[in-house]
Amino acid sequence: MDVTSTEQAVAQLKAALEGVGIVLPSLRVDPVTGASEEPFALVALGRCNVRTAVRLAEVLHGSGEGS
């Protein structure tokens, strides 16, 4: 996997999640580590409601098809 920036990783993750009907409203580059001298900032997945958490678990377990 060739990730050249945290921003690209966040964009890829956001697109993949949206592709299976999941939106993490707080998904972003972590502003604290983004301002550091580290080559890659952390990805802040943020908070989500219970429905989104259950949907994410279903997709990760492979049972999200057609739910």
With beta carbons less than 8 A apart as the criterion, state whether 55 and 67 touch. yes
Does 4 score more than 80 pLDDT?
no
Q: What is the mean pLDDT of the chain?
A: 86
Q: Which two tokens stand for residue 38?
A: 């580290």
> Does residue 26 surpass a pLDDT of 60?
yes
**SS3 for 28?**
strand
| 37 pLDDT higher than 80 | no
The type of residue at 52 is T
The β-bridge relationship of strands 28-29 and 43-44 is antiparallel
Is it the case that residue 51 has pLDDT exceeding 90? yes
Q: What pLDDT sits at residue 66?
A: 53
